[in-house]
Amino acid sequence: MSDPTAPDPIPEDAARTALAKRGERLTTLSFAVSIFGALALAVVYWRGGQPQLEGIFLCLALGGLGVGMIVWARYFMPHGTDVEARHQIESTEEEIDAFREEFERGEHILTRRSLLVRMGTAAVAALGVALIFPIRSLGPRPGKGFKSTPYRKGIRLVTDDGTLIKADDVSVDGVITAFPEGHTDAADASTLLIRPNEPVQARPGRESWTPGNLVAYSKLCTHVGCPVGLYQAGVHLLLCPCHQSTFDVLDGARPIFGPAARSLPQLPIEVDGEGYIVARGDFSGPTGPGFWDRDR
């Protein structure tokens, strides 16, 4: 590590020489560590790679270089305080005036200047508005899709692999995640089928929605839409893992704890002649998180 450009300190006394020696040793050592790290990294890589070793050797290669540079600067580079004057950042009045004059050159030649400026501005504005339109291509108009799911009257319920669900498949205290038949990838239609061990208190108008005490709710939390996954059968509560909103299954999935403000929408279901579970229509409201015109 004898670089001809590195300024050598003048050995004024023994202490100074010792210091320089130490600096030299430290710098050399750091760079040696760096070289070792780099070589070892190459070897590790060729032998098939190993994340931990790669990290360690990369650390040595970079760190040795870094320490070496800092030690070098500490021991062998001129130190001391430098002072620099600050200058005013603002331009002076004269400079501003000179600039203005330059900028407004040619203005007096223009007649009807205000009209030209106005038309020019209008043209630029019109172009700006025109450029907004391509943004419209980024997504469809937020219409019905936000408020409805593929559930219709007569659509059967299936599991996520497409198997039809019979009413008997849901045991007491059991939960099954269901989808409308043919739409197992519909993110807004995931449904929880639950058969609590106590009678569900049906909301007015929903008395016939729970055949055999089987109740179907949207699986999407009304807070910010996480899947409500945890059913505590003993207390009939559904728990959202994201922010701990808790819904009462017996009472129309009313939120009783946490940040969710709305009940989970309920799906009207019935059991058809062959014993399959069938939807009688769409959910009682839009599923998932709220938006401003949800109720319109």
Query: Which residues form the interface with ligand FES (CB under 6 A)?
Result: 221, 223-226, 240, 242-243, 245, 258-260
Residue 208 DSSP SS3? helix
Single-letter amino acid, residue 293: D
Contacted entry of ligand FES, another protein, none for residue 257, CB cut-off 5 to 8 Å set by kind: another protein
CA neighbor of 180 nearest in space, from 86, 277, 115: 277
Contacted entry of another protein, ligand FES, none for residue 235, CB cut-off 5 to 8 Å set by kind: none
For residue 241, give the DSSP letter.
T
Residues near another protein (CB under 8 A), total: 83
Q: How far is Cα 234 from Cα 247, in angstroms, rounded to an integer?
A: 13
292: left (phi over 0), alpha (psi -120 to 50) or beta: alpha
Q: How far is the CB of 63 from another protein (least distance, A)?
A: 3
Residues 157-216 that bind another protein (CB under 8 A): 160, 177, 179, 187-188, 190
Q: How far is the CB of 205 from another protein (least distance, A)?
A: 20
Contacted entry of ligand FES, another protein, none for residue 72, CB cut-off 5 to 8 Å set by kind: another protein
Both tokens of 113, joined, read 């200047």
- Among 19, 20, 29, 67, the residue binding another protein under the rule CB under 8 A is 67
Does position 268 interact with another protein (CB under 8 A)? The reply is no
Q: Give the residue carrying structure tokens 């130190």.
A: 79
Residue 155 DSSP SS3? strand
Single-letter amino acid, residue 35: I
Contacted entry of ligand FES, another protein, none for residue 100, CB cut-off 5 to 8 Å set by kind: none
Does position 63 interact with another protein (CB under 8 A)? The reply is yes
Q: How far is Cα 141 from Cα 145, in angstroms, rounded to an integer?
A: 9
Contacted entry of ligand FES, another protein, none for residue 215, CB cut-off 5 to 8 Å set by kind: none
Contacted entry of ligand FES, another protein, none for residue 1, CB cut-off 5 to 8 Å set by kind: none
Does position 55 interact with another protein (CB under 8 A)? The reply is yes
Q: How far is the CB of 267 from another protein (least distance, A)?
A: 14
- CB–CB of 238/223 below 8 Å? no
- Among 13, 14, 79, 114, the residue binding another protein under the rule CB under 8 A is 79
Does position 133 interact with another protein (CB under 8 A)? The reply is no
Q: Give the nearer residue to another protein in terms of CB position, either 211 or 229.
A: 229
Contacted entry of another protein, ligand FES, none for residue 234, CB cut-off 5 to 8 Å set by kind: none
Those residues with Cβ within 8 angstroms of residue 189's Cβ, 6 or more apart along the chain or in another chain: 149, 150, 151, 179, 180, 183, 218, 287
Q: Is the dihedral of CA 204, 205, 207, 210 positive or negative?
A: negative
Does position 278 interact with another protein (CB under 8 A)? The reply is no
- CB–CB of 267/218 below 8 Å? yes
For residue 276, give the DSSP letter.
B
Q: How far is Cα 254 from Cα 155, in angstroms, rounded to an integer?
A: 26
Does position 285 interact with another protein (CB under 8 A)? The reply is no
Does position 230 interact with another protein (CB under 8 A)? The reply is yes
Q: Give the nearer residue to ligand FES in terms of CB position, either 45 or 146.
A: 146
CA neighbor of 1 nearest in space, from 36, 40, 30, 39: 30
- Among 227, 270, 276, 285, the residue binding another protein under the rule CB under 8 A is 227
